[in-house]
Amino acid sequence: MGVQINIDNLSILEQFGTKYPDTPVCIRINPHVMAGGNTNISVGHIDSKFGISIHQLPHLIRIVENTKMNIVGIHMHTGSDILDIEVFLYAAEILFDVAKNFKNLEFLDFGSGFKVPYKKDDIETDIEELGKKLSKRFNDFCTEYGKELTLIFEPGKFLVSEAGFFLAKVNVVKQTTSTVFAGVDSGFNHLIRPMLYGSQHHIENISNPKGKERFYSVVGYICETDTFANNRRIAEINEGDILCFKNAGAYCFSMSSNYNSRYKPAEVLWMNGEGHLIRAKESFEDLLRNQIPLPVAATV
Protein backbone atom coordinates (compact mmCIF):
# COMPACT_ATOMS: atom_id res chain seq x y z
CA MET A 1 0.00 0.00 0.00
CA GLY A 2 3.04 2.27 -0.11
CA VAL A 3 3.49 2.59 3.65
CA GLN A 4 7.14 3.13 4.62
CA ILE A 5 8.24 0.23 6.84
CA ASN A 6 10.77 1.03 9.57
CA ILE A 7 12.35 -1.99 11.31
CA ASP A 8 14.42 -1.87 14.52
CA ASN A 9 14.83 -5.56 15.39
CA LEU A 10 17.08 -8.21 13.83
CA SER A 11 14.54 -11.02 14.10
CA ILE A 12 11.76 -8.95 12.54
CA LEU A 13 14.17 -7.78 9.85
CA GLU A 14 14.92 -11.38 8.90
CA GLN A 15 11.25 -12.40 8.97
CA PHE A 16 10.18 -9.44 6.86
CA GLY A 17 13.09 -9.76 4.43
CA THR A 18 12.38 -13.44 3.89
CA LYS A 19 8.71 -12.82 3.13
CA TYR A 20 8.84 -9.43 1.39
CA PRO A 21 12.36 -8.95 -0.05
CA ASP A 22 11.23 -6.42 -2.66
CA THR A 23 9.32 -4.12 -0.28
CA PRO A 24 11.28 -0.91 0.52
CA VAL A 25 12.48 -0.94 4.12
CA CYS A 26 14.12 1.59 6.44
CA ILE A 27 16.32 0.35 9.28
CA ARG A 28 16.46 2.09 12.66
CA ILE A 29 19.82 1.92 14.36
CA ASN A 30 20.72 2.62 17.97
CA PRO A 31 23.82 4.86 17.91
CA HIS A 32 24.41 4.43 21.67
CA VAL A 33 24.38 8.20 22.07
CA MET A 34 22.42 10.06 24.73
CA ALA A 35 21.80 13.39 23.06
CA GLY A 36 18.64 14.22 24.97
CA GLY A 37 17.61 14.63 28.59
CA ASN A 38 17.05 11.90 31.17
CA THR A 39 16.68 8.21 30.32
CA ASN A 40 12.89 8.47 30.34
CA ILE A 41 12.97 10.55 27.17
CA SER A 42 16.31 9.44 25.69
CA VAL A 43 16.00 6.46 23.38
CA GLY A 44 19.42 6.23 21.75
CA HIS A 45 21.47 5.07 24.74
CA ILE A 46 22.94 1.58 25.08
CA ASP A 47 20.16 0.27 27.34
CA SER A 48 17.31 1.51 25.15
CA LYS A 49 14.84 -0.96 23.66
CA PHE A 50 14.80 1.01 20.41
CA GLY A 51 16.87 0.41 17.31
CA ILE A 52 19.42 -2.16 16.20
CA SER A 53 22.71 -1.66 18.02
CA ILE A 54 25.60 -0.44 15.92
CA HIS A 55 27.55 -3.34 17.40
CA GLN A 56 25.14 -5.68 15.62
CA LEU A 57 25.91 -4.16 12.22
CA PRO A 58 27.63 -7.34 10.90
CA HIS A 59 24.52 -9.38 11.73
CA LEU A 60 22.32 -6.74 10.14
CA ILE A 61 24.35 -6.74 6.92
CA ARG A 62 24.35 -10.55 6.76
CA ILE A 63 20.53 -10.63 7.00
CA VAL A 64 20.17 -8.04 4.26
CA GLU A 65 22.59 -9.89 1.98
CA ASN A 66 20.98 -13.29 2.60
CA THR A 67 17.43 -12.05 2.02
CA LYS A 68 18.39 -9.53 -0.71
CA MET A 69 16.18 -6.95 0.99
CA ASN A 70 15.48 -3.55 -0.50
CA ILE A 71 16.93 -1.11 2.06
CA VAL A 72 16.04 2.48 1.12
CA GLY A 73 16.61 4.38 4.38
CA ILE A 74 18.59 4.48 7.62
CA HIS A 75 17.00 6.03 10.70
CA MET A 76 17.91 7.07 14.23
CA HIS A 77 16.20 8.94 17.05
CA THR A 78 18.29 9.80 20.10
CA GLY A 79 15.40 11.10 22.20
CA SER A 80 13.80 14.35 23.32
CA ASP A 81 15.35 17.55 24.63
CA ILE A 82 18.61 17.70 22.67
CA LEU A 83 20.82 20.06 24.67
CA ASP A 84 24.19 19.77 22.91
CA ILE A 85 24.06 19.79 19.12
CA GLU A 86 27.67 18.57 18.96
CA VAL A 87 26.53 15.33 20.59
CA PHE A 88 23.74 15.07 18.02
CA LEU A 89 26.22 15.69 15.20
CA TYR A 90 28.42 12.94 16.64
CA ALA A 91 25.43 10.58 16.44
CA ALA A 92 24.87 11.75 12.86
CA GLU A 93 28.39 10.62 11.97
CA ILE A 94 27.51 7.14 13.20
CA LEU A 95 24.44 7.21 10.95
CA PHE A 96 26.62 8.20 7.99
CA ASP A 97 29.05 5.35 8.70
CA VAL A 98 26.20 2.83 8.79
CA ALA A 99 24.72 4.25 5.58
CA LYS A 100 27.92 3.52 3.66
CA ASN A 101 27.10 -0.19 3.86
CA PHE A 102 23.93 0.16 1.77
CA LYS A 103 24.15 1.15 -1.89
CA ASN A 104 20.52 1.90 -2.80
CA LEU A 105 19.48 4.36 -0.12
CA GLU A 106 16.99 7.10 -0.86
CA PHE A 107 16.95 8.94 2.48
CA LEU A 108 18.50 9.33 5.92
CA ASP A 109 16.11 10.00 8.80
CA PHE A 110 17.65 11.80 11.80
CA GLY A 111 14.53 11.60 13.97
CA SER A 112 14.04 14.64 16.15
CA GLY A 113 14.15 15.58 19.81
CA PHE A 114 14.64 19.31 19.42
CA LYS A 115 14.22 20.93 22.83
CA VAL A 116 11.60 23.62 23.28
CA PRO A 117 11.62 26.09 26.21
CA TYR A 118 9.34 25.14 29.10
CA LYS A 119 10.05 28.09 31.36
CA LYS A 120 11.59 31.57 31.27
CA ASP A 121 15.22 31.57 30.08
CA ASP A 122 15.04 27.80 29.47
CA ILE A 123 17.57 26.16 27.16
CA GLU A 124 16.36 25.23 23.68
CA THR A 125 17.99 23.51 20.72
CA ASP A 126 19.84 25.95 18.46
CA ILE A 127 18.09 24.95 15.24
CA GLU A 128 19.94 27.51 13.13
CA GLU A 129 23.38 26.25 14.12
CA LEU A 130 22.36 22.62 13.83
CA GLY A 131 20.86 23.26 10.40
CA LYS A 132 24.00 24.92 9.06
CA LYS A 133 26.40 22.30 10.39
CA LEU A 134 24.33 19.24 9.53
CA SER A 135 23.39 20.54 6.06
CA LYS A 136 27.02 20.97 5.11
CA ARG A 137 27.98 17.57 6.47
CA PHE A 138 24.98 15.92 4.78
CA ASN A 139 25.81 17.44 1.40
CA ASP A 140 29.42 16.32 1.76
CA PHE A 141 28.23 12.81 2.55
CA CYS A 142 25.97 12.74 -0.52
CA THR A 143 28.96 13.68 -2.69
CA GLU A 144 30.98 10.90 -1.07
CA TYR A 145 28.07 8.45 -1.41
CA GLY A 146 27.69 9.31 -5.09
CA LYS A 147 23.98 10.06 -4.93
CA GLU A 148 21.67 12.83 -3.75
CA LEU A 149 19.72 11.58 -0.74
CA THR A 150 16.75 13.10 1.08
CA LEU A 151 17.34 14.40 4.60
CA ILE A 152 14.38 13.71 6.89
CA PHE A 153 13.48 15.03 10.34
CA GLU A 154 10.42 14.25 12.51
CA PRO A 155 10.03 17.42 14.61
CA GLY A 156 6.61 16.66 16.12
CA LYS A 157 6.94 18.14 19.61
CA PHE A 158 9.05 21.03 18.32
CA LEU A 159 6.16 22.09 16.05
CA VAL A 160 3.17 21.67 18.36
CA SER A 161 4.31 21.84 22.00
CA GLU A 162 4.12 25.61 22.38
CA ALA A 163 0.92 25.79 20.30
CA GLY A 164 -1.21 24.12 22.98
CA PHE A 165 -2.48 25.37 26.34
CA PHE A 166 -4.27 23.41 29.06
CA LEU A 167 -6.82 25.29 31.18
CA ALA A 168 -7.90 24.05 34.61
CA LYS A 169 -10.20 25.61 37.19
CA VAL A 170 -9.09 26.02 40.80
CA ASN A 171 -11.45 24.10 43.07
CA VAL A 172 -9.83 24.97 46.37
CA VAL A 173 -6.99 26.94 47.92
CA LYS A 174 -5.75 25.05 50.97
CA GLN A 175 -3.34 26.45 53.56
CA THR A 176 -1.41 23.92 55.64
CA THR A 177 1.33 24.50 58.19
CA SER A 178 3.99 24.56 55.48
CA THR A 179 2.34 24.86 52.06
CA VAL A 180 -0.38 26.65 50.15
CA PHE A 181 -2.06 24.21 47.78
CA ALA A 182 -4.06 25.20 44.73
CA GLY A 183 -6.24 22.21 43.91
CA VAL A 184 -7.53 22.13 40.33
CA ASP A 185 -10.27 20.18 38.57
CA SER A 186 -7.71 17.98 36.83
CA GLY A 187 -4.96 15.51 37.61
CA PHE A 188 -2.32 13.33 36.01
CA ASN A 189 -5.17 11.69 34.09
CA HIS A 190 -5.08 14.82 31.92
CA LEU A 191 -1.45 15.95 32.14
CA ILE A 192 0.86 13.15 33.21
CA ARG A 193 4.22 14.60 32.15
CA PRO A 194 5.10 16.36 35.44
CA MET A 195 4.61 13.15 37.43
CA LEU A 196 5.94 10.74 34.78
CA TYR A 197 8.95 12.70 33.52
CA GLY A 198 9.47 15.35 36.18
CA SER A 199 8.82 17.95 33.49
CA GLN A 200 7.99 21.56 34.26
CA HIS A 201 5.10 23.33 32.59
CA HIS A 202 4.87 27.08 33.14
CA ILE A 203 1.61 27.90 34.97
CA GLU A 204 -0.09 31.28 34.66
CA ASN A 205 -3.16 32.51 36.52
CA ILE A 206 -5.09 34.02 33.63
CA SER A 207 -7.89 35.13 35.99
CA ASN A 208 -5.47 37.38 37.88
CA PRO A 209 -2.38 37.84 35.65
CA LYS A 210 -1.32 41.11 37.36
CA GLY A 211 -1.75 39.81 40.90
CA LYS A 212 1.02 39.70 43.46
CA GLU A 213 3.00 36.51 43.18
CA ARG A 214 2.86 33.95 45.97
CA PHE A 215 4.21 30.43 46.32
CA TYR A 216 1.79 27.62 45.50
CA SER A 217 1.91 23.88 45.03
CA VAL A 218 -0.55 23.10 42.26
CA VAL A 219 -2.16 19.70 42.73
CA GLY A 220 -4.90 17.64 41.14
CA TYR A 221 -8.02 15.77 42.24
CA ILE A 222 -6.72 12.22 41.82
CA CYS A 223 -6.55 10.04 44.96
CA GLU A 224 -2.77 9.79 44.57
CA THR A 225 0.03 12.32 44.50
CA ASP A 226 -0.57 14.24 41.29
CA THR A 227 1.48 17.38 41.73
CA PHE A 228 1.83 19.75 38.77
CA ALA A 229 4.16 22.19 40.55
CA ASN A 230 5.91 22.46 43.92
CA ASN A 231 6.27 25.87 45.58
CA ARG A 232 5.90 27.73 42.29
CA ARG A 233 5.61 31.54 42.12
CA ILE A 234 2.21 32.29 40.58
CA ALA A 235 0.01 35.41 40.65
CA GLU A 236 -2.31 35.21 43.66
CA ILE A 237 -4.83 32.42 43.22
CA ASN A 238 -8.45 32.41 44.40
CA GLU A 239 -10.96 29.62 44.22
CA GLY A 240 -12.64 29.67 40.82
CA ASP A 241 -9.60 31.09 39.00
CA ILE A 242 -8.45 29.56 35.73
CA LEU A 243 -4.83 28.37 35.52
CA CYS A 244 -3.13 28.03 32.15
CA PHE A 245 -0.50 25.31 31.70
CA LYS A 246 1.86 26.13 28.82
CA ASN A 247 3.46 23.65 26.37
CA ALA A 248 0.42 21.38 26.31
CA GLY A 249 0.37 20.90 22.54
CA ALA A 250 2.38 17.68 22.70
CA TYR A 251 1.97 14.68 25.01
CA CYS A 252 -0.92 16.21 26.94
CA PHE A 253 -4.28 15.07 25.57
CA SER A 254 -2.59 12.25 23.64
CA MET A 255 -1.37 10.74 26.94
CA SER A 256 -4.56 11.40 28.90
CA SER A 257 -6.68 8.63 30.40
CA ASN A 258 -9.90 7.93 32.26
CA TYR A 259 -8.06 6.98 35.44
CA ASN A 260 -10.29 7.30 38.53
CA SER A 261 -13.27 7.33 36.14
CA ARG A 262 -12.55 10.92 35.20
CA TYR A 263 -13.70 12.47 31.94
CA LYS A 264 -11.31 13.69 29.28
CA PRO A 265 -11.66 17.43 28.65
CA ALA A 266 -12.95 19.31 25.65
CA GLU A 267 -10.53 20.67 23.05
CA VAL A 268 -10.81 24.05 21.36
CA LEU A 269 -8.95 25.16 18.24
CA TRP A 270 -8.21 28.88 18.28
CA MET A 271 -7.97 30.15 14.70
CA ASN A 272 -8.15 33.67 13.28
CA GLY A 273 -9.24 35.08 16.63
CA GLU A 274 -12.11 32.64 17.08
CA GLY A 275 -12.53 29.48 19.14
CA HIS A 276 -13.84 26.28 17.53
CA LEU A 277 -14.87 23.28 19.61
CA ILE A 278 -13.11 20.31 17.97
CA ARG A 279 -13.61 17.69 20.69
CA ALA A 280 -16.50 17.56 23.13
CA LYS A 281 -15.97 16.93 26.83
CA GLU A 282 -16.64 13.34 27.75
CA SER A 283 -19.72 12.26 29.69
CA PHE A 284 -20.56 9.40 32.03
CA GLU A 285 -22.05 7.57 29.04
CA ASP A 286 -18.65 7.74 27.32
CA LEU A 287 -17.07 5.93 30.25
CA LEU A 288 -19.64 3.11 30.02
CA ARG A 289 -19.83 2.86 26.22
CA ASN A 290 -17.57 -0.18 25.80
CA GLN A 291 -18.70 -2.05 28.89
CA ILE A 292 -20.73 -5.16 28.06
CA PRO A 293 -23.32 -6.16 30.68
CA LEU A 294 -23.48 -9.80 31.62
CA PRO A 295 -26.84 -11.58 31.32
CA VAL A 296 -28.73 -11.81 34.58
CA ALA A 297 -28.35 -15.30 36.04
CA ALA A 298 -31.53 -17.32 36.24
CA THR A 299 -32.88 -17.95 39.71
CA VAL A 300 -32.82 -21.65 40.65
Report pLDDT digits (tens) over 5-55: 999 999 999 999 999 999 999 999 999 886 555 444 444 466 778 899 999
The domain defined by 164-267 carries CATH number 2.40.37.10: yes
Percent of the chain with pLDDT over 70: 94
Report pLDDT digits (tens) over 114-141: 888 888 888 888 889 999 999 999 999 9
Q: Can you say whether the dihedral through the CA atoms of 134, 136, 139, 144 is positive or negative?
A: negative
Catalytic residue among 26, 142, 223, 252: 223
**Active site (annotated) includes residue 223:** yes
Q: What is the pLDDT at residue 300? A: 62
Q: How far is CA 25 from CA 10, 61, 78, 197, 271, in A?
A: 13, 14, 20, 33, 39
Q: How is domain 5-159 classified at the architecture level of CATH?
A: Alpha-Beta Barrel (3.20)
CA distance between the termini of the chain: 57
**Domain ranges for the chain:** 5-159, 164-267
CA 183 to chain centre: 27
Q: What is the pLDDT at residue 42? A: 47
